[in-house]
């Protein structure tokens, strides 16, 4: 990509729209704002019912594994870094760098999902906390499961974009598509920042 | 609100790209350190309200770093920030109202409440 081409594209301003913001980006921010309300309700429902463990089982503090959750948090933060680098790379027209960054983000996303599957299995089979045997189980699995579903959708989206980049139809002009995907992925990360504190760390105080 | 950094990008070329790369890496390291601090905080022998406040502040700092730097709100038009914060404020307000109306202690199961009755209940009994 030539230097002249880089100079002509302003990725933060679109003069063809009345707001000056690319329509796709505006749509994504509106969606994320609505998703905030969705997760806000799920998190507060869990906080209200967190004192309802299954009868005769351990309290949530002894059920949770802070080591595993901290590792997952670190992995998701690093995936956010790689996503930011992928967006930066495509904005500079560096397709090769973007592909490596996307691949790493997908890899970290898969590790996070693997940790979540392991955690769920451990809770159900070892700690006897299921989605149906208590209100705590219902709110916990609904909240973290919904977040996990968002991560899964993100991984599928990232993989699709990675494959699409090999068709030769993705260039610096399409940076907005990668940026939109990046916004979604970072949102998944910020939701986890809140869940990590409100659901996990709070139980240890 | 096009940023000076964005406008200056072509002039700095490789150096600018390298500095932005390092900038994102530094932000990520900072986020990792804050996560470590959060972990240490929960084991400190201080009052619960103080620990909860520290955790809320640390999480908010992480949240803001991600939305303003990784999500580029710092360099985007201010309308994007307003749009997102409308959703955030509505979500926060809903959560605050729900927690005020149905606090965790108030919704404690009856069996657990009887096992650990408040002082007034003990006196009546």
What is the complex's ipTM, to 2 decimals?
0.87
The whole-angstrom distance between A186's CA and the closest CA on chain B is: 7
Q: Chain B partners of A13 at a C-beta cutoff of 8 Å?
A: 2, 77
Does B51 contact A at CB distance below 8 Å? yes
Decide if pLDDT at A48 tops 60.
yes
pLDDT score of A9: 61
pLDDT score of A17: 77
pLDDT score of B103: 73
What six digits make up the tokens of A149?
A: 């579903």
Q: How confident is the model over A122-139, as a mean pLDDT?
A: 89
Q: How confident is the model over B15-36, as a mean pLDDT?
A: 87
pLDDT score of B9: 44
Give me the percent of chain A exceeding a pLDDT of 90: 67
Q: Chain B partners of A105 at a C-beta cutoff of 8 Å?
A: none
Does B113 contact A at CB distance below 8 Å? no
Q: Map out the domains of chain A with their CATH numbers.
A: 23-204 (1.20.120.80)
Q: Chain A partners of B6 at a C-beta cutoff of 8 Å?
A: 10-12
Give me the percent of chain B exceeding a pLDDT of 90: 55
Q: How confident is the model over A16-26, as a mean pLDDT?
A: 85
CB-closest option in B28, B88, B107 to A78 = B28
What six digits make up the tokens of B114?
A: 């009887």
Whole-angstrom distance, CA of residue A162 vs CA of residue A79: 15
pLDDT score of B18: 66
Q: CB of A39 within 8 A of CB of A162?
A: no
Q: How confident is the model over A175-186, as a mean pLDDT?
A: 94
The whole-angstrom distance between B92's CA and the closest CA on chain A is: 7
Decide if pLDDT at A135 tops 80.
yes
Whole-angstrom distance, CA of residue A153 vs CA of residue A184: 10
What six digits make up the tokens of B58?
A: 């640390």
Chain A residue at shortest CA distance from B108: A51
Phi, psi of B13 (to 5 degrees): 55, -125
Q: CB of A51 within 8 A of CB of B107?
A: yes
Whole-angstrom distance, CA of residue B7 vs CA of residue A84: 19
Give me chain A's average pLDDT, please: 89
pLDDT score of A11: 67
Q: pLDDT digit string (tens) for B32-81?
A: 999 999 999 999 999 999 999 999 999 999 999 999 999 999 988 999 99
Decide if pLDDT at B29 tops 90.
yes
CA distances from A12 to A35, B27, B33, B79 (A): 23, 21, 30, 12
Q: Can you give the residue ranges of every domain in chain B?
A: 1-76, 78-125
Q: Chain A partners of B107 at a C-beta cutoff of 8 Å?
A: 48-49, 51-52
Does A99 contact B at CB distance below 8 Å? no
The whole-angstrom distance between B18's CA and the closest CA on chain A is: 11
The reply to whether residue A29 touches residue B94, judged by beta carbons under 8 angstroms, is: no
Whole-angstrom distance, CA of residue A131 vs CA of residue A164: 38
pLDDT score of A172: 82
Q: Chain A partners of B105 at a C-beta cutoff of 8 Å?
A: 51
In order, the DSSP letters of A100-127 are HHHHHHHHHHHHHHHHHHHHHHHHHHTS
Whole-angstrom distance, CA of residue B35 vs CA of residue B41: 10
The whole-angstrom distance between B47's CA and the closest CA on chain A is: 9
Q: How confident is the model over A163-173, as a mean pLDDT?
A: 88
Whole-angstrom distance, CA of residue B19 vs CA of residue B6: 13
pLDDT score of B15: 62
Q: How confident is the model over A162-170, as a mean pLDDT?
A: 91
CA A160 to chain centre: 16
Give me chain B's average pLDDT, please: 80
Within a 13 Å sphere around the CA of A35, how many CA atoms are in the beta-carbon half?
19
Q: Which of A:55-94 have CB within 8 Å of B?
A: 55, 66, 70, 73-74, 77-78, 80-81, 83-85, 87-88, 92
Decide if pLDDT at A5 tops 50.
no
Mention every residue, 6+ apart, whose C-beta is less than 8 A from residue A117: none
Give me the percent of chain A exceeding a pLDDT of 70: 93
Phi, psi of B120 (to 5 degrees): -65, -40
Q: Which of A32, A182, A187, A25 is nearest to B77 (CA)?
A: A25
Q: Would the pTM count as exceeding 0.95?
A: no
Kindly calculate the radius of gyration of chain A based on its CA atoms and give it in whole angstroms: 20
- Of A12-26, A77-91, A183-197, the range with the lowest mean pLDDT is A12-26
Q: Which of A176, A70, A203 is nearest to B32 (CA)?
A: A70
Decide if pLDDT at B1 tops 60.
no
CB-closest option in A43, A52, A189 to B95 = A43
Q: CB of A158 within 8 A of CB of A105?
A: yes
What six digits make up the tokens of A162?
A: 């990675």
Q: Which of A44, A56, A72 is nearest to A202 (CA)?
A: A44
pLDDT confidence tier of residue B6, bands split at 50, 70 and 90: very low
- Of A5-19, B27-41, B71-85, B98-112, the range with the lowest mean pLDDT is A5-19
Whole-angstrom distance, CA of residue B82 vs CA of residue A152: 28
Within a 13 Å sphere around the CA of A68, how many CA atoms are in the beta-carbon half?
15
Does B107 contact A at CB distance below 8 Å? yes
The whole-angstrom distance between A27's CA and the closest CA on chain B is: 10
């Amino acid at each position: 990509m030539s230097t002249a081409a880089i100079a002509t594209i302003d990725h933060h301003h679109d003069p063809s729209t009345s707001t000056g913001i690319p329509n796709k980006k505006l749509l994504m921010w509106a969606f994320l704002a609505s998703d905030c309300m969705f997760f806000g309700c799920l998190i507060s429902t869990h906080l209200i019912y967190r004192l309802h463990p299954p009868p005769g089982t351990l309290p949530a503090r002894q059920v949770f594994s802070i080591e595993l959750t901290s590792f997952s948090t670190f992995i998701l933060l690093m995936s956010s870094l790689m996503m930011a680098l992928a967006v930066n790379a495509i904005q500079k027209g560096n397709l090769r760098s973007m592909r490596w960054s996307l691949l790493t983000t997908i890899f970290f996303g898969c590790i996070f999902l693997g940790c979540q599957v392991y955690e769920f299995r451990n809770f159900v089979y070892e700690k006897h906390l299921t989605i149906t045997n208590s209100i705590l189980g219902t709110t916990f699995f609904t909240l973290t499961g919904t977040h996990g579903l968002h991560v899964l959708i993100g991984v599928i989206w990232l993989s699709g974009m990675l494959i699409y980049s090999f068709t030769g139809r993705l260039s610096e002009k399409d940076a907005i598509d990668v940026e939109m995907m990046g916004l979604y992925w970072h949102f998944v990360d910020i939701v986890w920042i809140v869940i990590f504190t409100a659901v996990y760390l709070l139980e240890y105080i | 609100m096009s940023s000076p950094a964005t406008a200056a990008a072509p002039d700095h070329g490789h150096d600018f790209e390298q500095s932005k790369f390092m900038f994102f890496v530094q932000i990520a390291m900072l986020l990792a350190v804050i996560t470590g601090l959060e972990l240490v905080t929960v084991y400190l022998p201080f009052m619960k309200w103080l620990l909860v406040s520290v955790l809320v502040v640390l999480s908010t700092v992480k949240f803001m770093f991600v939305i303003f730097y990784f999500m580029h709100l710092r360099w985007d038009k201010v309308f994007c920030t307003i749009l997102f914060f409308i959703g955030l404020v509505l979500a926060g307000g809903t959560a605050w109202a729900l927690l005020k109306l149905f606090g965790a202690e108030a919704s404690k199961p009856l069996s657990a409440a009887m096992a650990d009755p408040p002082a007034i209940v003990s006196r009546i009994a």
